[in-house]
Amino acid sequence: MKKTLYFAASLLLLTSCYDDYVGDFDKTAVFAAYQYDLRSFVLGEDASFEWQVALGGVMQNDKDRKVTVSLDDALLSGAVAGMKNKNLASGDYVGNAITDAGITAFKPLPAAYRTIEGMDNLVIKKGKHTAAVKITATDAFAMDADAYKPVYAIGFKIDSADADEVLENKNYAVIAVKCENRFFGFWSRSGTAKTYDWTGTKTGENHESLSLADSRQYEFTTTGANSVSCNKVAGSTGQMTLTFNGASVTVSSDDGKITGSGAFNGETRLQDRQIFLRYKVTRTDGGYDDVRDTLSFRNRIRDGINEWQDEHSDNY
């Protein structure tokens, strides 16, 4: 939804300037607003996104307009440079993500990894200025280890349209894609850590109340369809892995010094999600910490958009 709003704003800018616009242009044109983009499939949610074509040149669209589009893998050649071009990409986050992932070339997204709805009957309806196709990830994509960084891309080409022209330099789009675990993002922590020495004697206890400060957030980074890496342990800098199986959570670390379990409260809406953890952290001195965390979803950055509450009306 938020992507659509930004798209609509760009459409207005491409079509006219409010102070200067006094009527329709001489020609109508169909185009893709952005030539390069990066989109995420959030697994466990809708795992889909939309790509839009737009009509410019008229204030009021007085008829249905058929648009013919096709998939074109040839567009992926040189697309990495396009992703890093601020004049062609949908935002700085696109080039930054490609650079951070070390991508030097894209692979075409296999047909088995996605479904595309609406491409065969794409129509900009009377009274509308946009039309969209919907791309949805399949379970097969989530099983690919490369799904969690932007290795794959889809190339769309606008072949023809019921308009005076298809804009020559805006008749295509290359969309890099990746998957995200539905729990990725930032979580606010409240919790208690009890400290024990090597004999099992309790030596201390620390309690932290809920805080929204950036420095206190647990950041979850997607590592797989059912797992995330967390950058905090017991409220301090560290690393642990959370693996989800339905509402159950397993807590672990690469060095084996963190073990535990937890539960997800099962809420669909982002702002209502909580995760409850209890885990043991074995220290180098032979002692250990008994940690209990309550994590409440704060926000996540998806495709350059800050999301802090659920945007799907069906979830209310």
Name the band, by pLDDT with cuts 50, 70 and 90, for residue 26.
Answer: confident
- pLDDT at residue 2 is higher than 80: no
> What is the location of CATH 2.40.128 in the chain?
185-312
Strands of 227-302 (E only): list them.
227-233, 236-245, 248-252, 258-264, 274-282, 288-302
CATH fold for the domain made of 2-181: Immunoglobulin-like (2.60.40)
Contact 35, 95 (CB under 8 A): no
Where does CATH 2.60.40.1740 sit in the chain?
Answer: 2-181
Q: Is residue 15 very low, low, confident or very high in pLDDT (cuts 50, 70, 90)?
A: very low
Q: How confident is the model at residue 215 (pLDDT cuts 50, 70, 90)?
A: confident
How far apart are the C-alpha atoms of 48 and 190, rounded to whole Å? 33
pTM over 0.85: yes
Instruction: Report residue 14's pLDDT band, with 50, 70 and 90 as the boundaries.
Output: very low
Q: Tell me the mean pLDDT in the region 45-68.
A: 95
| Residues 139-198 pLDDT 10s | 999 999 999 999 999 999 999 999 999 999 999 999 999 999 999 999 999 999 999 999
| pLDDT 10s digits, 65-82 | 999 999 999 999 999 999
DSSP letter at 280 equals E
Q: Which CATH number fits domain 185-312: 2.60.40, 1.10.10, 2.40.128, 2.40.160?
A: 2.40.128
Which of the four pLDDT bands, split at 50, 70 and 90, describes residue 314? confident
